[in-house]
Amino acid sequence: MWLVLATLGLLLGIYHNHVVQRGGANPLTALVRSLIIPLQRGAQHATDRASEFAAMLIRAREALRAYDHLALENARLRQEVEQLRALAAENEALRQLLDLRARLPHQWLGCRVIAAYPQPAQQTLIIDRGTRDGVIAGAPVVAGAGLLGVVAWADRDRAIVRLLSAPRMAVSVKVLNPQKVSLGVCEGRGESRLLLNFVPPEAPVQVGDQVVSAGLGSKYPPDIPIGTVEAVWLDRQFSVKKAWVRPAVNFEQVRVVLVQRAHSPAHSK
């Protein structure tokens, strides 16, 4: 076996020397190159692909960081926009309150809403003024857009306001139709709309008519906006005209109000 291998090695050596002496290419070198070069190319290709993949991962990580930054910035800007909208809405409400205050008789006190319970079973708000500020039960309460309700209960520092939409609430009103102003009563039904009742059957009431307080009695001042007529029908059983009225005030969004102040504030000891 060793003799065979030695013989082969000798023959290869003789052949190699013969080829080299005649100026031919080194067959062993050519053989090695034919085997190594494809491997080198493959390794280089694999290295290049790995480098590209690593670069892609770095770019993806940077893109994710940029996306997270943009998402946070977008959330911050949205929050600022919402705050600006809330401030604009509050400023508009204050402007409306000032305009309405100029038309109201007696003394009125500005208040903030500190809690709201618009559910049908409650329909109330809590304001941050009470008896020490001259707020008493029965006092009317208005928002910038119109009549809100009446104080149902008050203690030293706060008061509960029953909304106009609450059941068993009622206010005498005028329907401002272009042909004729008619009287009626707006009633709370525990819903998002009011029922206009006891309007004479011949009264010209139509969709879009504005409804304001009539000022009958001493509870509510006259000409405070109540709402807008949305639907009208004739109740033949009772021979009266009725209508649904969309309130002028959005009860769920009220933040500042005016409450009529008693002539002699009740100071708590």
For the domain that residue 111 is a member of, what is the CATH number?
A: 2.40.10.340
Same domain flag for 241 and 177: yes
Same domain flag for 193 and 148: no
> How much is the pLDDT for 187?
97
Query: Which of 102, 127, 155 corresponds to the end of one domain?
Result: 102
> How much is the pLDDT for 24?
53
% of the chain surpassing 90 pLDDT: 51
Strand intervals (E) in 52-139: 108-117, 124-127
pLDDT of 109 strictly over 50: yes
Return the DSSP state at 134: T
pLDDT tens, position by position, 248-265 = 999 988 999 999 998 654
Same domain flag for 227 and 132: no
The answer to the question of residue 217 being in a domain is yes
Same domain flag for 27 and 92: yes
pLDDT of 16 strictly over 70: no
Bigger pLDDT: 257 vs 97: 257
Domain count, the chain: 3
Same domain flag for 146 and 95: no
> How much is the pLDDT for 15?
60
pTM (global) more than 0.85: no
pLDDT tens, position by position, 64-91 = 888 888 888 888 888 888 877 766 766 7
Same domain flag for 97 and 111: no
Q: Show the domain range for 209.
A: 170-248
Helix (H) or strand (E) holding 163: strand 159-163
Amino acid at 258: L
pLDDT tens, position by position, 209-251 = 999 999 998 789 999 999 999 999 999 999 999 999 999 999 9
Same domain flag for 185 and 143: no
Same domain flag for 1 and 93: yes
C-alpha closest to that of 198 among 239, 157, 161: 239
CA dihedral 78, 83, 86, 92 (to 10 degrees): -110
Same domain flag for 10 and 86: yes
Same domain flag for 47 and 71: yes
Same domain flag for 131 and 197: no
Residue 66 neighbours by CB under 8 Å, 6+ apart: none
> How much is the pLDDT for 266?
47
Same domain flag for 135 and 223: no
Contact 268, 156 (CB under 8 A): yes
The answer to the question of residue 265 being in a domain is no
pLDDT of 93 strictly over 80: no
Q: How many residues does the chain have?
A: 269
Q: Domain with 209 in it: what CATH number? A: 2.40.10.350
The number of angstroms, rounded, from the C-alpha of 2 to the middle of its chain's C-alpha atoms is 92
